[in-house]
Amino acid sequence: MKLDRRITNLIITGFSGTGKSLVAKEVARGLNWDFLDTDDEIVKQTGKPIAEIFRQDGEARFRELERETIRKACQQKHTVIAIGGGAIVDPQNYELLAKTGLIVCLEAKPETIYERLFREAAHSPETEVRPLLANDNPLERIKQLKASRQPYYDNVDWTVHSDNLNVSQVAEEVIRAWRLLRLAHPHLNPLPSRERKLGSQLEANDDVACLVETATQGYPVFVGYGLLDKLGEKMKQAALSGTATVISDENVFSLYGSKVAGILKDAGFAVNSFVVPPGEETKSMDYVIKIYDFLVEHRVERDDIIIALGGGMVGDLAGFIAATFLRGMPWIQVPTSLVSMVDASIGGKVGINHPEGKNLIGAFYQPNLVLADCQTLATLPQRELTSGWAEVIKHSMILDKEFVRFLESNVNKLTKLEPELLTRAIARSAAIKSQVVSQDEKEREGKRTILNYGHTIAHGLETATRYKRFLHGEAVAIGMAGAAKLGQRLGLLPSAAVERQQALLQKFDLPTGFSGLDLTEITRAMELDKKTKERAIRWVLLQDIGKVIIRSDVPQDDVLAVIRELAEQ
């Protein structure tokens, strides 16, 4: 079958006992899609178990009902559909399903199927698969029936052998296949992007700013004003349930803790909370252990949920807990600082600091969803807010000229947190970050490197001042000013563009230079920077506004000259 069609659904087929329904449910959960089982639909519609329909009305009637159910199911979008084991044999069904669905067959050897059905039957004597077993030689019957259907099972887009895998492993394989095929055949994706592009109106009922789609997890990033109220609803839509443990810092929890707890309780979640002191020192093993103890004491289980309510510090810490406790739990990012809304909450980097270095211990572990309520920025201290704009400007400078224009024309309203424009700016910035991390989840392919624009000098400044003098965004602003000047020196970037960036940073009240620092300490720190590969620094530079280039051949002298220039300001 050629993959020349647009896919709106995933179809899971296979013989009885291959776990179609459970797998489809798990896949839907992983992709944040809907789930539908055609057999269940038929049972719902007729009020009778499948076996009874066979017995009372005959197979022909069942196939008729099945055809009708499949026809309806094919009108869905973003749905994982489990179909009955015989459905695909019908050419009409096959044609309908194949038109817009990617068909995945779950395979298993007859012996495995026999064993699974036998076990299942033993556990629930009423199960409808019993007819398959109710004959003299059930294994032989399975072999025969399966062989007769095999040509149809072979005529699918992808096959997963399930003999030696459990349900979630099979589901992972299906998701992996979907992502792999989408990478290889980009046209497969029916909705080119749910990103809310700048300039397009805010759709009143659609708060999805973007989707992050990495190899391990796809999840939505919701951005909106006053969106906190919908947290419980969004979590339920993501098929989450159970106990939610809210991890937050004292500042944020005192402002939003009880509101969030109330929203979660109203949505039917049990709620725990663990509140830590604010500040970077809290992102440590000491607090990780305290939180583990709390979770153990409260008997938190694998399907329960961790909620990170706060800035990037809380997000990194809570995410690290979610990644490691019980080998991984579902978790939600509820970023409340500008830095975390547009940067830290997206991309799944979680971790804590080691006394010898920041973020030395961690993992890549994607959340199930991100929900950013821009209204919470009203209480963020001014300096933190300003610092956050540096990352927004960074995203615009590296990838989106139009967004630069948008920021330039709306500075005043944005810094005053005008709801609609603020929401648009955050949504766009978050979408840029999502787009980059979706292409390079684990920072292996170098595509994520472009996010380090302005960060080489920034890390030099932060290290030289032991992270005490600058907020991260402030250091990044100076770093971007430096990177632009460096680009200019290398003949890559016209001076007008350098000035344009300079002006934008300053309009947002961000620094573009520094004074009173020992320059050698900065350069030494830069050479020790962890993003340095074999001593050649990979510089992320601009070729134009909205266009980056990576260079590893930048002469030291030029770097020194630029740093001297920054120090004179």
Ligand X SMILES: NC(=O)c1ccc[n+]([C@@H]2O[C@H](COP(=O)([O-])OP(=O)(O)OC[C@H]3O[C@@H](n4cnc5c(N)ncnc54)[C@H](O)[C@@H]3O)[C@@H](O)[C@H]2O)c1
Contacting residues toward ligand X, per CB under 6 A:
249, 251-252, 255, 278, 280, 283, 310-314, 316, 336-337, 339-340, 343-344, 347, 349, 359, 376, 379-380, 384
Q: Write down the least CB distance from residue 176 to ligand X, Å.
A: 24
Q: Contact 373/227 with Cβ under 8 angstroms?
A: yes
CB of 115 or CB of 509, closer to ligand X: 509
- For helices 472-489 and 382-399, the axis angle rounded to 10 degrees is 30
Residue 33, both tokens: 């899609």
Strands (E), 336-395: 349-354, 357-364, 369-373
- Judge residue 400's burial from the number of C-beta atoms within 10 Å of its C-beta, 0-12 exposed, 13-18 middle, 19 or more buried: buried
Q: Contact 485/498 with Cβ under 8 angstroms?
A: yes
CB of 16 or CB of 375, closer to ligand X: 375
Count of CB atoms situated within 10 Å of the CB of 449: 18
Q: Vertex 332, ends 334 and 431: CA angle to 5°?
A: 65
Q: Contact 251/279 with Cβ under 8 angstroms?
A: no
Residue 52, both tokens: 């009874």
H-type helices in 308-400, by residue range?
312-324, 338-339, 382-399
Q: Write down the least CB distance from residue 276 to ligand X, Å.
A: 10
- Judge residue 161's burial from the number of C-beta atoms within 10 Å of its C-beta, 0-12 exposed, 13-18 middle, 19 or more buried: middle
- Residue 454's identity, in one-letter code, is G
- Tell me the CA end-to-end span of the chain in Å, nearest whole number: 64
Q: Write down the least CB distance from residue 371 to ligand X, Å.
A: 13
Within its chain, how far is the Cα of 99 from the centroid?
A: 28
- Residue 118's identity, in one-letter code, is F
H-type helices in 247-326, by residue range?
250-252, 258-266, 285-297, 312-324
Q: Write down the least CB distance from residue 115 to ligand X, Å.
A: 45
Alpha-carbon distances of 322 from 50, 346, 489, 552, rounded to whole Å: 41, 15, 45, 36
Q: Write down the least CB distance from residue 368 to ligand X, Å.
A: 16
CB of 101 or CB of 473, closer to ligand X: 473
Q: Contact 369/323 with Cβ under 8 angstroms?
A: no
Q: Write down the least CB distance from residue 349 to ligand X, Å.
A: 4
Residue 500, both tokens: 């344009």
Q: Write down the least CB distance from residue 377 to ligand X, Å.
A: 6
Q: Vertex 155, ends 151 and 160: CA angle to 5°?
A: 100
CB of 363 or CB of 560, closer to ligand X: 363
Q: Which residues pair with 220 in a beta bridge?
A: 211
CB of 97 or CB of 344, closer to ligand X: 344
Provide the phi-psi class of 372: left if phi over 0, else alpha when psi is between -120 and 50, else beta: beta
Q: Write down the least CB distance from residue 457 to ligand X, Å.
A: 17
Q: Contact 157/1 with Cβ under 8 angstroms?
A: yes
| CB-based closest residue to ligand X | 312
Q: Write down the least CB distance from residue 521 to ligand X, Å.
A: 21
CB of 195 or CB of 373, closer to ligand X: 373
Separation between Cα atoms, residue 558 and residue 175, nearest integer Å: 47
- Residue 453's identity, in one-letter code, is Y
Within its chain, how far is the Cα of 467 from the centroid?
A: 29
Q: Which residues are catalytic?
A: 327, 349, 391, 433, 443, 448, 452, 455, 459, 472
CB of 218 or CB of 388, closer to ligand X: 388
